Amino acid sequence: MTTSYSFAVVFHILIIFSSISSFPSGETKNGDREMRLELIHRHYMDDVSAPKTQYDKVKDLVQDDLIRVRMLYGRISRYHYDNGKVGKHSSAIIITTTKASNSSAVLPISSAAYKGIGQYFVQFRVGTPSKKFTLIVDTGSDLTWINCRYRCKKCTSRTRMNDHRIFQAARSLSFKTIPCSSNLCKNLTFSFVTCPSKRDPCQYDYGYQDGSTAHGFYAYETVTMSLTNGRKTRLHGVPIGCSYSTSTGTLGVVDGILGLGYNDNSFATKATAKFGNNFSYCLVDHLSPKNVSSYLTFGYSKHLVSGSSPPTNLQFTNIQAIDGLYHVNIVGISIGGLVLKIPSEIFSFQNQGGVILDSGSSLTFLVEPAYKTVMKYLMAAFTKFKQVKDESFEFCFQSQGFHESAVPKLVFHFADSVRFEPHLKSYVIDVSDGVKCLGFIPNAWPGISIIGNIMQQNFLWEFDLKWKRLGFAPSTCT
């Protein structure tokens, strides 16, 4: 990868855990429940920071994405090295269904792109009594953790420090450490291989590619979720991480991470087992103001597609979970109705390729053979526009006189004749006043391609964990 592509984007999603005194049961007479979490763009939290230009924001996003891609590629490389053996990060997961399989819980989502970094927050609640925290929601991670203190005599007893909330675990009636000697500890992500003592909690050491780290131990906790009927419900015995040490970097602005990766102990699996075995999100335009929101939903997503109850316009394709990541079966890419000549092994995980859908990456990454072909055909549509040099993207242009009708339609072709037609604004993106760029970043081959969440914006995405399907449909997300 050349220096001209030395910046990239990460879109995470943040969740805030808030305090509740008392509430009735979440059950209704007909069993219809929904749990909602509001998705708030990360920069909603940074109003006091110095304003950035749109160009600076895009550069920051690109840098974060490149860091994330290296992390994801490292995980997949280790999986290939282990020859796909079933282990901690395997996709061999048994989903336990519940009687309330058509109920759902929802968290509102909104964009904070005006702050410069492509992440999303939601409100989330943990502990007894429940407390509020701001977490990044990440489909590329199966570890859920919060900044935490527990039985530490020299540690602060405050609930906030350096603009971060701190979970004082000893004050929670539902907090219970997971022993290092337990079988569960052996199967939890990034847990230590050896135990200092059998009575010690199960510890972890999680490193992120931007230099951020999270050290802590696992515990069972109670999570409080809002339902669309206005009531609340609790999830008991959820494994979470109590992080007593975190470094700067991506983690410097949050209270923790909500892992939605595919793992038998991840929050996504625990929540969907109660609310219908699926979860979904709908990301508003990444340039939307902070008062525009959508939802991260656990359970049936019937309220998220306008005019459909339940959704009838969802297309479905198979999805495969490998090492906690969501792989989609793409068979080709077309531009303007022309199917591009891209080698089939590019889209095959078995051949060191493959494509993942990732809410934690902002831009779309294509491995070199696919990237060069897609860029060649798209750039041909902009020959009449003056090209602008940019250090983050290969092709940018002055957009005076630009009209969408001049751009050929980009289509990702999934197996079973399913087509994903992203909105033009998702791949011809605004980087500054009067300047647009083709929002693709090259990735080395062999390697993975990533459909980032700018490409996903204004679509409803539904992950069916029981039947291993991915459903999607256009939506305003509001």
What is the structure's pLDDT at 214?
A: 77
- 187: part of which helix (H) or strand (E)? helix 183-187
The predicted model scores a pTM of 0.81
How many angstroms separate the CA atoms of 119 and 136, rounded?
7
Domains of the chain: 105-151+163-298 (2.40.70.10), 315-474 (2.40.70.10)
- Phi then psi for residue 317, to 5 deg, are -140, 160
Task: Answer for the pair 349, 390: CB distance below 8 angstroms, yes or no.
Answer: no
- Phi then psi for residue 170, to 5 deg, are -65, -20
Of 320, 271, 267, give the one whose Cα is nearest residue 92. Answer: 320
- Per the listing, tokens 């992950």 go with 463
How many angstroms separate the CA atoms of 331 and 345, rounded?
9
Side-chain-side CA neighbours of residue 310 (13 Å): 10
Helices (H), 82-200: 183-187
pLDDT per residue rounded down to tens, the chain (478 residues): 333 333 233 334 444 444 333 344 444 334 445 566 777 655 544 444 455 666 666 666 666 666 566 656 555 655 554 544 433 433 333 333 344 434 577 665 545 444 445 667 777 899 999 998 888 778 888 889 999 999 876 666 666 655 578 999 999 999 999 999 898 888 887 767 677 787 889 998 876 545 566 789 999 999 998 887 778 889 999 999 999 876 555 556 678 888 899 888 889 988 988 888 889 998 888 877 767 778 888 987 654 444 434 455 899 999 998 888 999 999 999 999 999 999 999 999 888 899 999 887 889 999 999 999 999 999 999 999 999 999 889 999 999 999 999 899 999 999 989 999 999 999 999 988 899 999 999 999 999 999 998 999 999 999 999 899 999 999 988 7
How many angstroms separate the CA atoms of 382 and 398, rounded?
10
By residue count, the chain amounts to 478
| Secondary structure of residue 380 in the 3-state scheme | helix
Please identify every residue annotated as catalytic.
138, 358
